[in-house]
Amino acid sequence: MKLTDKTAIITGASRGIGEAIARNFAEAGANLVLNARHEFPTELIKELEAFGHGVVTVLGNVDDPATGQQLVATALDKFGSADILVNNAGITSDMLTMRMKPEDFARVVSVNLDGTFYVSQPVFKKMLKARTGVIINLASVVGLTGNIGQANYAASKAGIIGLTKTLAREGAMRGVRVNAIAPGMIATDMTAALSQASQDQILAEIPLKRFGQPEEIAHAARFLVENAYITGQTLTVSGGLG
């Protein structure tokens, strides 16, 4: 699948990895249906529109099933198809397991895992009917390895990997492919919030000795969209971490 005149739905697209994927896909010729919880920066929308393709935004929380319904309805209304879905929206709320409140565990799982399902289900139905489509879910290397203080986040990302494999098996018979990307430490607002001591400790564990860039995850996403013989896989992009 090439991206020219395809329609890509991207959640959590106002910054970081989601923004980088939106820019990469727009450059490749895709129309964009972008989701975030808050208004998008005006300059970002202008930059994406400058590529000459359609760009629309849908505000809402992914853990509200209505948001997923609205995203697919918007894609079909504005562009006539929903060809690509990137489930990128996610949150963290780190705390050692013994101190983690039930609501903190539930909230992270609700947004990261439930939200991925709530958005995927209506898009998946349309893709199955069209007998074509690609879904990419953003997991994490900690979903494969676990991480101290991230029981909620690691559980949600491990769940995304299981969901990915199941959707891939269900979709294969109708030409729908589903894969996951498991980033390591990527230079985003989320990692910038870590203390310098924490960042130094993490860097010491990364064989390539640097954080990844959002654009490197975007390249991986585009690769998974364009390679028609990959499905049910988790591509780790981590600099050797994990």
Residues taking part in catalysis: 153
Answer whether 160's CB lies under 8 Å from 196's CB. Answer: no
User: For residue 160, which amino acid is it?
Assistant: I
In the numeric block, which tokens belong to residue 224?
Answer: 């998974």
Q: How far is CA 62 from CA 54, 117, 119, 202, in A?
A: 22, 9, 7, 30
Residue with tokens 């269900």: 170
Sheet holding 31-36, edge to edge: 55-59, 31-36, 7-10, 84-87, 133-138, 176-183, 234-237
What is the number of residues in the chain? 242
